[in-house]
Chain A
Amino acid sequence: MNEIIEKAREIITSYDGPKVRIMEVCGTHTHEIFRLGIRSLLPENIDLISGPGCPVCVTQVGFIDEALYLALEKNCLITTFGDLIKVPGTEMNLAKARAKGANIRPVYSPDDAVNLAIENPDKDVVFLSVGFETTTPSSCLAVKRAKELGLNNFSILVANKSMPNAYQKLKGSADAFLYPGHVNAITGNGVCKQLKEEGVSGVVAGFTATELMTALAVTIEMLKKGEPFFVNCYPRVVKDEGSVFAQKLMDEVMELCDTEWRGLGMIEKSGLKLRSEYSDFDSRIKYNMPHIEGKPNPGCRCGEVLQGHCKPSDCPLFGKVCTPLHAVGACMVSDEGACSAFYQYAQ
């Protein structure tokens, strides 16, 4: 344990003020907090809530159904981040579709999906484009490259989401937020500073043990002062202005639209879609996609779990029909999803 972690740990564990609720917005923060066991260090009066910042957790059932349609009905080669492969659709997930003969390939980068399209001119390659501002530029770069190359066998199924307007929905859920460092690396800190003016507090956090502990310690110290605050605790990566180039790129290729978040419902101007100049690369347009309404299991309470309104064990499906091996809700899909973690501890 380095000196900084020790110092931060001291600040966190000795907190004896009124109960505070801190929400980590980012799924990777959730992952690292779990992996480092940070929750076990917290005194009872610090509540650390996992927010909705995991593209898997907030992706609607209907999106998976759309991907299944392209895989099974249109025989597309589906390329995807590994995260989505086990996310349940209405009937099945992508792993099951693959077992039925669908062509599903995990990729590291959307650029690799473009390369697959180049190498396989006889296949229709679709990339499942999910993610927040951190990830969206990678999809935009891939689409631009495909356009420059004149590829006619590459398209993306877009479900990218944008954080700034989602914060409005989360506002009351916590006393302070750990903002997602890698989103802010792209967007800059403007939104967070604006939120501070509206009375919403938070710090930008990095992802190492030192960074997460530092960010929590700063949050605790600032909460003690009682004034709204914003602190950039990840200055080695996050600059105030963010990545101007990435912002321009996203604006050139995509535009904001209203979208539904699993668990949070419809949020205005929080989704992204391809601009009309790039419609040749929009899978929905290219394949005349019918409207597909996903049917989530009506018993699933992932949405409330995500907002900290109920415990996983309060869900009627938990541990019965919904387990890590047969996930019904998104919170059971990834190993450190709230329900999966809860299940593994309880076992």
Chain B
Amino acid sequence: MCVGLPARVVSVNDGTAIIDANGAKRDVRAELLDDLEPGDYVMVHAGVAIAKISSDDEEEGSEVLGLLAI
């Protein structure tokens, strides 16, 4: 349904942003996200930054699995 690309924001300019995924760079639309800043990590789909990413997947995984113990 939706391939997502985690990428770092290089620069933001008037509703668009340049993102960098391992050195592959592209202009994407950034209007969906507020307060986007260079250095933020975003999930990109079909040329649009659809969400900010707040941590890496291992950190997230240990949090989520941690919930099970309770």
Q: List residues of chain A with CB under 8 Å of any chain B CB.
A: 2-5, 7-8, 25-29, 31, 53-55, 81, 108-112, 131-132, 134-135, 137-138, 141, 180-183, 185-186, 206-208, 210-211, 213-214, 217-218, 221, 231, 233-239, 243, 245-246, 249
Chain A residues, CB < 8 A from B58: 2, 4, 210
**Nearest 10 A/B pairs, CB to CB:** A109-B47, A134-B2, A182-B2, A4-B61, A26-B1, A138-B46, A53-B1, A185-B51, A214-B61, A210-B57
Q: Are B60 and A55 in contact (CB under 8 A)?
A: no
For residue A235, give the distance in angstroms from its CB to the closest CB of chain B. Answer: 6
Chain B residues, CB < 8 A from A206: 57, 60
Q: Are B55 and A236 in contact (CB under 8 A)?
A: yes
Chain A residues, CB < 8 A from B67: 218, 231
B50 at interface (Cβ–Cβ under 8 A)? yes
Which of B29, B32, B61 interacts with A243 by CB under 8 Å? Answer: B32
Residue of A nearest to B62 (CB): A4
Which of B3, B32, B64 interacts with A28 by CB under 8 Å? Answer: B3
Q: Are B1 and A25 in contact (CB under 8 A)?
A: yes
Known contacts A55-B1, A137-B50, A249-B31, then 4 further A-B pairs from the complex at CB < 8 Å, ordered by chain A residue: A132-B2, A210-B57, A231-B64, A235-B54
Q: 1/0 contact trace for B1-38 toward A, CB 8 Å?
A: 11110000000000000000000001011011110000
Q: Are B2 and A218 in contact (CB under 8 A)?
A: no
- Given A134-B1, A245-B32, also A211-B60 (CB < 8 A): yes
- In the assembled complex, the Cα of A293 lies from the Cα of B63 at a distance in Å of 50
Residue of B nearest to A51 (CB): B1
- In the assembled complex, the Cα of A233 lies from the Cα of B32 at a distance in Å of 23
Chain B residues, CB < 8 A from A7: 65
Q: Are B1 and A138 in contact (CB under 8 A)?
A: no
- In the assembled complex, the Cα of A245 lies from the Cα of B15 at a distance in Å of 13
- In the assembled complex, the Cα of A5 lies from the Cα of B58 at a distance in Å of 9
Q: Are B32 and A249 in contact (CB under 8 A)?
A: yes
Residue of B nearest to A245 (CB): B32
Which of B26, B29, B43, B63 interacts with A185 by CB under 8 Å? Answer: B43
Contact sample, A vs B, 13 pairs, CB 8 Å cutoff: A26-B1, A31-B3, A55-B1, A108-B26, A111-B29, A207-B4, A234-B60, A236-B54, A243-B32, A243-B33, A243-B50, A243-B51, A249-B32
Chain A residues, CB < 8 A from B29: 109, 111, 138, 141
- In the assembled complex, the Cα of A237 lies from the Cα of B32 at a distance in Å of 14
Chain B residues, CB < 8 A from A217: 65, 68
Chain A residues, CB < 8 A from B48: 109, 111, 137-138, 141
Residue of A nearest to B47 (CB): A109
Q: Are A235 and B64 in contact (CB under 8 A)?
A: yes
For residue A145, give the distance in angstroms from its CB to the closest CB of chain B. Answer: 9
Chain A residues, CB < 8 A from B46: 81, 108-110, 131, 134-135, 138
